[in-house]
Structure 1
Amino acid sequence: MIKFYNRKTKQYEIEKVAGENYLNWTYSSPIGMGFLEAIIKKKAFSSIYGSFCDSKMSRSKVRTFIKNFDIDMQECTEKQEEFKCFNDFFTRKLTEKARPINKDNNIFISPGDGRLLAYENIDLDNLVEIKGMSYNLKELINDEKVSSKYENGTCLILRLCPTDYHRFHFVDSGVCSATSKIKGAYYSVNPIALNKVKKLFCANKREWSILKSDNFKDVLYVEVGATCVGAIIQTYKENTKISKGDEKGYFKFGGSTVVLFLEKDAVKIDSDILEQTKLGYESKVIMGEKIGIK
């Protein structure tokens, strides 16, 4: 059971987890863990399933998924019958009205939909992942020079579960560098898995880049892949001027994570998000909403 904080209602809710029984069995039983290490975490497994989600055969999954998880199709730019396969639906685009962007230059927005954790005054050698587990930023991106810039800064961990909108966006206008890609495994990023796999983010496939933002200094983006994520697709043009709220990329099927690192004193994260993180709860956010201030 995963409990999270709903900022709008100021209430705790229980997350509907896609494939919850499968996750519990895989990460909680000796046989499941053995199967995980031998097959599930491998690129081939996620690639095969990703190919299925790209095929016409997966189209039948769309209607069931929408019904089971109460997906609001009024937010989508396409109708249900227009999706050619499950990944078409999974990577669906939303209308501008569905995710309005706060254009105030002093307002820091969420890069996507998901469940958010926020940590201030971070120690680069001891970044809290979840439930007391930690990792090292240098290990995460394999670049000590870039890592050092974020000492005593802020770390934001946005977990996108399979039911979420799976495109991620720029938090500010500016120019974004080329993407560096790091090969890795394909563990789930669900809290069930995070509690079982040591330094999971450093073990998984990931990509990173730096947004030289106009208002919030240099923002380090790290996109982390997960089980059944066929690909992390970057859609932005590197070293080209972008606007706040522009799409940066998207994940194909699977739960995924976007991790942001902010320089010291660049942003003050909203107090409710910080408080819930201290209590051990993620806060539900949507792309474009205010989560901090300059």
Structure 2
Amino acid sequence: MPDDPKSPEMRRRRFRPIPVRMLVPNFITLLAICAGLTAIRLSTEGRMELAVAAIVFAAVLDGLDGRVARMIKGQSKFGAELDSLADFVNFGVAPGLILYFWQLHELNNGGWIAAMVFAISGGLRLARFNATMDDPNKPAFAANYFTGIPAPAGAITVMLPIYFQFLGFSQPPAILTAFYTLLIGFLMVSRLPVFSGKTVKMRVPPEMVLPVFVSVVFFIALLIGYPWQMLSIMTVMYLLALPAGWKSYRDHKRKAAAAQTVMPPGAAPLDPAAPFVPSVTEPDQDDRPARLN
């Protein structure tokens, strides 16, 4: 029988060689896990700057592994599950422990609860994302929005008090840091629509290739030369842009609802993202075959 695990066909299928292109994205994900675990160790040793840098490096790798997998056609179910586990460690557990060892330990159990709630919120957010990724009832415009702050953005955002201390500001009260940690955790598990940019066209006009290269190099140079200033500015701008994403989602939802109300009875639902194509019917055709049926 072909489904028998002891059959020669099943044995050959089980031990067949795996293409290297299927392994490359997983190597990147494993490197990101190493960065997250190293960040935890560095935070226990008090080297907070290196710990935060390791989380940022893990976030960069998290943005690369999926794009590399799609580029070289190396997607796999194993890679998707590994990526979710990596996100929970790197952007849930590690930032919570960094904040705890940095300041939240001053609140004893209260600080530990704040760090633990943030880590659990990251895990719940990832589980919800995996469960609703293939939802057939999701409207077309919803593909351009996340539900809640994504885990990498939540990890970068929640460490804003640490960035401020690195810039020379006085350390905020521990209770304020705990409330801010809980707020970011709540935003991660909330139903807040957050603009994702997935459907934005990534094609660059030929005349803009060199300016784009220069801009990217300039941004990377600023991030390397002034890391805490850039991370602080980007985090504040991201938080200020959250209401704009919610307003944009609400406008799309209102337009979709308006399109549904003007439809004639029995018509198929309209896709608000699809272009309008007028239908053309022959003047001599009628619905006589339908009536005969």
TM-score, length basis structure 1: 0.23
Q: If each structure's helix is expressed as a fraction of its own residues, which one has the higher value?
A: 2
TM-score, length basis structure 2: 0.23
Larger C-alpha radius of gyration, 1 or 2?
Answer: 2
